[in-house]
A = this chain, B = another copy of it.
Amino acid sequence: MSTQTAPLRITVWGENRHEKTDQIVQELYPEGMHTTIAEGIEEHLETNAVVRTVTFDDDEHGLTDDVLAETDVLTWWGHRAHKEVSDDVVDRVQQHVLSGMGLLVLHSGHFSKIFKRLMGTTCSLRWRNEDDRELVWTVDPAHPIVRGVSNPIDIPQQEMYGEFFDIPTPDETVFISSYSGGEVFRSGLTFKRGRGRIFYFSPGDQAYPVYHHPDVRRVLANACEWAANSGERALPALQRTLPV
């Protein structure tokens, strides 16, 4: 009846470039944004899990086939080095997502190669960086990703990301944000691709302490649990068949 579940295996990928040169980022994230993100997820998970971090400068960006095969959910934060990410690694991550690995794409990751590859669109948006207050409203109150999260999430200072966000129609719109400047943004979105589940979440800029915000950390943990797929891990394939 009841089952002992294997621990959830989460890999937090960090670009880790701003951290090397920008003083403000170093002060906010002294051990790197990926470390703060990983700690936030660990802190709020309700299931047993193993969380590790890898970064751009690791061999193959830390995303070998072995690492991905042992990852239930990958989180992706990148910004400055999108174009330098190896196409081979992007191919590999895409194959694993379509095979059933969960993926969380964070903030400026909207312009990462892997997100554009999975969406098929430009993923462009409106932006402005002027210390806006962002309010993140729940529009799907029964979604597991919003469990225990304030409504709205109140983020005192953030970069503004606004519509039109050029993405396919999401499978689910979980959060919509407003900004002091009056813009709106679909800020928490789910997409299924192949056997994989993807969650895009926009709050989180390197120049603001967003990944220290308890509600943001809670969303990330909830989203990891949601994105993990307990079913078969296999790439959908062309199948020549006999009549049934």
Contacts and interface: CB of A to CB of B under 8 A. Distances in A.
B177 A184 contact: yes
Given A165-B139, A238-B127, A183 B192 contact: no
A67 interface: no
By DSSP majority rule, is chain A's interface helix, strand, loop, or mixed?
Answer: loop
A128 B243 contact: yes
Choose among A126, A154, A163, A237 the residue with the greatest number of B CB atoms under 10 Å from its CB: A163
Interface in A167-204: 168-169, 171-173, 176-184, 186, 191-197
A186 B140 CA distance: 12
Choose among A118, A120, A141, A182 the residue with the greatest number of B CB atoms under 10 Å from its CB: A120
A92 to B, nearest CB: 14
A168 B141 contact: no
Interface of A: 1-3, 45-48, 94, 98, 100, 117-122, 124-128, 130, 133, 135, 137-142, 144, 146-147, 151-152, 154, 162-166, 168-169, 171-173, 176-184, 186, 191-197, 229-232, 235-244
